[in-house]
Amino acid sequence: MDENRGERRAFTHVRALMTHTGEGFIALTPEGDVRLMNEVAEEIFGCARGEFLGKAIESLGPAEIAKTARSVIAVGDCSQPQSVSLVLNGRDLLCTLAPYHDENACGVVITIRDQSELARSRKRAEAILQSTADGLIVYSSAGKITFVNNTAALMLAIAVDDLLGSSKDLWSICGLEPLDTFDPRRGGSQVREVTLEEPVHRVVDVRTDPVIDDHGMYLGFVATLHDVTAEREIGQMKNEFVSTVSHELRTPLTSIKGYVDLILDEEAGEINEIQREFLSIVKENSDRLVELINDLLDISRIESGRIHLKVQPLQVAERIKGAVDTFRAVLEQNGRSITVEVPNDLPRAAGDPDRVGQVLINFISNAIKYSPEGGNVWVRSESDDNFVRISVTDEGIGIAEEDMAQLFTKFYRVDSKLTREIGGTGLGLSIVKSIIELLGGQVGCESEPGKGSTFWFTLPRASADLVRTPTISGPGGVGGTVLVVDQNPEVADLVETYLFKRGYDVIKAHSAEEAFDLAIAESPAVITMDVMLEDGKGFGLLQKLTETPMTSRIPVVVLSIICDEGRSERMGASGYLEKPIDKDKLASIIDDVVGSVASPVVMVVDDDKRINDLLCANLKSLGYAVIAAYDGREAMVAVHSKKPSMILLDIQMPVMDGYQVIEQLKTDPATADIPVVIMTAHRFDDSRAALLDLAAARICKPIDEHELVARIQEVVTQKESQ
């Protein structure tokens, strides 16, 4: 009796749960008859429970449920839950059929869930996703495509039905090779640019984002296809516009600036003081216009990724000294001073020498311009384990806190009476920030109104495997014939005037065909060329000169308006100079290029910069071209770039000493014949004496100039006679 009462109590509890649950329940006997049905199921099917109790499941109506229930009963013990989706009385239902054991037979419990609201939400979401302008492809955690909107199908020219349910690789769908490194489970977005040609030309950014639930489980990923064709075309149009405008401005400016400089140098006759004053004003403003154009071109190159950086180890003290020397005359006139504080043991930084110099000049120039009369400027440097920090501090007007956030943005200028008087484009600091960030550093400012400012930037410390490539410096006054190629006769005449004054003979050409014929006929010592020739044939001429045996050894120096140093170097140019032409830089480049071909080349390898500079200066005065290397690794890089006639080598050096250099030189057939003259102030290592025997001569420090000259001439003459 008690046992029956317990069973009735348990059944009462089950009935209470079934009554108050939000899901419908139906229990079937092993024969497929309705044993139990709760109120929710009654309401879903729209019928009274009493009418169906004891009747076959088929009497309920939906054939899908009856068919699946019979299948579960037939399978019996091995049966697994099965699901059926159906629409009944306007409702979206999900029915789950699970087996249960009734003594030796198998019955079925049917759970019915109303998913109408979920279905409506899904349809709304799909409608929203279908209406977006971006293409969307959704992948499950198993790698199957579960959703594709019409925009994606249109972009890829593939039918939605051909993608849904498939496991096609995303990149293969986009017409690209699959990426072995692609892992959608990785946190964060990944973006890859794709060019599609069918059904129309499109440039698309494909971005992938993993989908992670609240528990950190990976559910799949979403690929977003964003059409950037218009942006790329606008960017291309902008770059072409900037290049065209800069070309049209730089061409006349080259002539204006060049001929004004010649008049100020009294190349056209003596001028009086009033004429000099007026011409100086013209020169000053033409220089300002050149700076403005250069800023615009720098911004364009940075934004389009065409900026050419030559990263190498930098002696920061040298870069600072070079920048400070630029302002010595201005400082003397204004009664100001620059104090440089750089520790002797400062490590080398990794950066582009010219671009780092540009940053320093910008900071120092601003410090001087925005400081009161007599205000001092400090340039300091320090380092930590990873970076070298350079700062420029002034005693100027300072910067308000509200201006600091926008200080390094394009075209932004602090609004004050002084800044309006000084003028400017507001591009300088933006360019500085972009350059430093491209070099892997950071830039910033600390300031207080009325108390001055400190602008600073950092550069990564140079790694041990980063090696400077030493360049060749030729002797002055080498002479020879220079072929000047420029479609503008006035600019060609200007370059001729500069070079003639330097001691060179000049022949001119104004077209690619004429230039190539003269190069064959005259075999000039060097060719200067603007690649902006008619019909865009400049780079074609450069390639033709490089590939033709009769002209391949003639150095080509590109004097260009279009600012494409990287492409020029890749195609074989020996030098590069932007227009408007700086006559001193032009003379230096031509001297170095011609000297490296016409004169014996001596490499000086010594870590003491003072000794190295002194030796190089003396050698150049004697008519030798020189290569300055400050350690053994730099020397080996330079040797394989330009084989010297001989090497002056210090033995005791950091990084790679002289013994190691001799060993590498003499064991390589390509460099074994280069004579080496050893220089040292230290006692030779007896254990490595065999290496020293491979040297052509030895000189002890301090070096006697006459002995050095005699030894060099002896060694070079002996080598040339072999």
pLDDT digits over 491-530, tens only?
899 999 999 888 899 999 999 999 999 999 999 999 998 8
- Contact (Cβ atoms closer than 8 angstroms) between residue 149 and residue 132: yes
- Tell me the pLDDT tens digit for each residue of 83-114: 888 888 888 888 998 888 767 778 889 999 88
CB within 8 A of 380, min separation 6: which ones?
Answer: 340, 341, 342, 390, 391, 393
- Tell me the pLDDT tens digit for each residue of 701-722: 666 666 777 777 777 776 666 6
**pLDDT bracket for residue 1 (50, 70, 90):** very low
**pLDDT bracket for residue 454 (50, 70, 90):** very high
Question: d(Cα 611, Cα 633) in Å, to the nearest integer?
Answer: 18
Question: Residue 639: pLDDT above 70?
Answer: yes
- Contact (Cβ atoms closer than 8 angstroms) between residue 264 and residue 283: yes
Structural domains in the chain, CATH included, are 2-114 (3.30.450.20), 118-227 (3.30.450.20), 232-304 (1.10.287), 312-460 (3.30.565.10), 472-597 (3.40.50.2300), 600-721 (3.40.50.2300)
Other Cβ atoms within 10 Å of 368 Cβ, number: 19
688/4: higher pLDDT:
688
CB within 8 A of 408, min separation 6: which ones?
Answer: 429, 430, 432, 433, 443, 445
Give the CA distances from residue 648 to residues 625, 645, 675, 680, in Å, rounded to whole numbers and listed in that order: 13, 10, 9, 10
CB within 8 A of 592, min separation 6: which ones?
Answer: 471, 472, 473, 474, 575, 625
Question: d(Cα 559, Cα 557) in Å, to the nearest integer?
Answer: 6
- Tell me the pLDDT tens digit for each residue of 161-214: 888 888 888 888 888 877 766 777 776 678 888 888 888 888 999 988 888 888
The pLDDT, as a whole number, for residue 418 is: 47
- Tell me the pLDDT tens digit for each residue of 136-168: 999 988 889 988 898 888 888 888 888 888 888
The structure tokens 């019928």 sit at: 47
The pLDDT, as a whole number, for residue 506 is: 93
Average pLDDT value over all residues in the chain:
83
69/333: higher pLDDT:
69
Question: Residue 578: pLDDT above 90?
Answer: no
The structure tokens 């110099």 sit at: 357
**pLDDT bracket for residue 448 (50, 70, 90):** confident
Question: Residue 8: pLDDT above 60?
Answer: no
**pLDDT bracket for residue 391 (50, 70, 90):** very high
- Tell me the pLDDT tens digit for each residue of 414-426: 654 545 455 566 7
The pLDDT, as a whole number, for residue 6 is: 47
**pLDDT bracket for residue 677 (50, 70, 90):** confident
- Tell me the pLDDT tens digit for each residue of 477-498: 678 899 999 988 998 999 999 9
